[in-house]
Chain A
Amino acid sequence: MSGSTPYIQVLDIEQTLTELNEMVSRLRQERDDLEIALTTAVEHGDAIEEQLETANRQLQNEVRERRTIEKQLRDLVATITQKSRDLEVVLQTITEHADQIDLHWLQRYIESETSARQDPLTGLANRRMLDEAMEREWSRARRQGQPLAMLMCDVDHFKPYNDRYGHQAGDECLCRLAELFQGMLHREGDLVARYGGEEFVVLLPNTDETGALRVAQGIQDALRNLDLGHEDTPLGRLTLSIGLAALVPDHDDRSTLLAEVDRRLYLAKQQGRDRIVHAADNNKIREDLNDSGSRADQGNPTRP
């Protein structure tokens, strides 16, 4: 280069300057770019930081809110659990209470049903229960072709008994008779009812006239052994007149049996009381308890 002309040297310098200027310009541009980039990065970082800060605050608020809600929910669950437990206990209380009340009413119902079918003085069946038993046994006897027997028993001279000994003694006497009747009946289906004041009806399913007669005789024997004093009677003791009938039902009119024993009871009274009338055909007294020789041989009542 030392051999070149000054003109050329000037040109080189100018070229160099131009290049330097370009370089400076480029560097400035790069510096400006870098400053912008740096500013952008810083501002972006700030924005991100602020955004993160906001997000963090929101998150913390959310956490707080969730914790509050969680507590509220826990309280709610506790309340609901308590209420549910209370409801379960209340339900159980009401259910058990209702059961107790049902039982209470059932007992009342049973008592009412029993008293509706029971004679309050003697505890025997009353006419209503007799009617129901009669309806049931009549149908059964008719269906099965079996005999059905009935005794109608009336205490002899009972009004004079009441007059002499008083109504309380009369009631006690009826209770003793009730026990006696019950003691004589052992078969399921046998029923004794207090039919009226001093009138008793004995219903004997699946029993013919012979069997019913044995029962009637047994009753008379037991009464004689009981020896309830009654000074206004010829024998000085309480006696019974009994109308007895047995039949195999072949029709619906079950009142015929009751009418027949009633008629025979009337005959027993007419014939002098203290006896059993059981013959439907001849109205004769078939058994006179005054003629007691044959009775003693009857022994315990047995029926087919």
Chain B
Amino acid sequence: MHCFSGEGYKIELDDTSNTVRMSGALRLGGLSEYAPISELLENALDGREALIIDLSALEFLNSSGIATLSKFVITARNRNDCRLAIQGSNAIAWQGKSLNNLKRLMPALELNFD
């Protein structure tokens, strides 16, 4: 289990369930501060047939965060070696539109909302 956290947020990679869970409120300043998260996400694609990004407890994500997520989805699409699924929540307002836009970047992306 790889895990790191900061003020108000937590990100963990669960190797057994092939899931990256992001929770809390992610409000890092700019893409440079998101680089470690970006690295964790891209490394998580290595050697896996499938990966789930669980955002159902991610209450808040700023614009740099959605840009990081978008770039990761493009990377996963270009690599084309790992099925990607994103788990969202209908209870969190921002997830509806933003996550659906990610599917436009990667039509093979599996989107699930609870």
Residues of A within 8 A of B (CB): 86, 89-90, 92-94, 96-98, 100-101, 103-104
Known contacts A94-B63, A94-B70: A100-B105 contact under CB 8 Å: no
B95–chain A nearest beta-carbon distance, Å:
9
Give bound CA distance, A287 to B7, whole Å.
Answer: 61
Give residues 58-77 of B contacting A (CB, 8 Å). 60-63, 66-67, 70-71, 74
A102–chain B nearest beta-carbon distance, Å:
10
List, sorted by A's number, 27 A–B pairs whose CB atoms are closer than 8 Å.
A86-B74, A86-B105, A89-B70, A89-B101, A89-B104, A89-B105, A90-B67, A90-B70, A93-B70, A93-B101, A94-B66, A94-B67, A94-B70, A96-B98, A96-B101, A97-B66, A97-B101, A98-B63, A100-B93, A100-B97, A100-B98, A101-B63, A101-B94, A103-B93, A104-B60, A104-B93, A104-B94
Size of the chain B interface, CB-CB below 8 angstroms: 17
Give residues 93-114 of B contacting A (CB, 8 Å). 93-94, 97-98, 101-102, 104-105
Question: Contact: A90 with B98, CB < 8 Å?
Answer: no
- Dominant SS at the B interface? helix
11 extra interface residue pairs, beta carbon distance < 8 Å, beyond A104-B60, A104-B93? A90-B70, A93-B98, A93-B101, A94-B70, A97-B66, A97-B98, A97-B101, A100-B93, A100-B97, A101-B62, A103-B93
B25–chain A nearest beta-carbon distance, Å:
11
A213–chain B nearest beta-carbon distance, Å:
49
Across the interface, A90 reaches (CB within 8 A) one of B60, B61, B71, B97, namely B71
Question: Contact: B63 with A90, CB < 8 Å?
Answer: no
B74: which A residues are within 8 A, CB to CB?
86, 90
B105: which A residues are within 8 A, CB to CB?
86, 89-90, 93
A100: which B residues are within 8 A, CB to CB?
93-94, 97-98
Give bound CA distance, A92 to B102, whole Å.
Answer: 10
Give bound CA distance, A85 to B73, whole Å.
Answer: 14
Known contacts A86-B74, A101-B62, A104-B60: A93-B94 contact under CB 8 Å: no
Please, which residue of chain A has its CB at the minimum distance from the CB of B74? A86
Give bound CA distance, A86 to B106, whole Å.
Answer: 9
Give bound CA distance, A92 to B93, whole Å.
Answer: 17
A89: which B residues are within 8 A, CB to CB?
70, 101, 104-105
Question: Contact: A97 with B61, CB < 8 Å?
Answer: yes
B60: which A residues are within 8 A, CB to CB?
101, 104
Among B93, B97, B98, the most chain A Cβ lie within 10 Å of the Cβ of: B98
Give bound CA distance, A184 to B66, whole Å.
Answer: 50
Give bound CA distance, A89 to B74, whole Å.
Answer: 11
Give bound CA distance, A103 to B105, whole Å.
Answer: 24
A78–chain B nearest beta-carbon distance, Å:
13
Question: Contact: A93 with B62, CB < 8 Å?
Answer: no
B98: which A residues are within 8 A, CB to CB?
93, 96-97, 100
Question: Contact: A92 with B101, CB < 8 Å?
Answer: yes
Known contacts A86-B105, A89-B105: A97-B71 contact under CB 8 Å: no
A104: which B residues are within 8 A, CB to CB?
60, 93-94
A86: which B residues are within 8 A, CB to CB?
74, 105
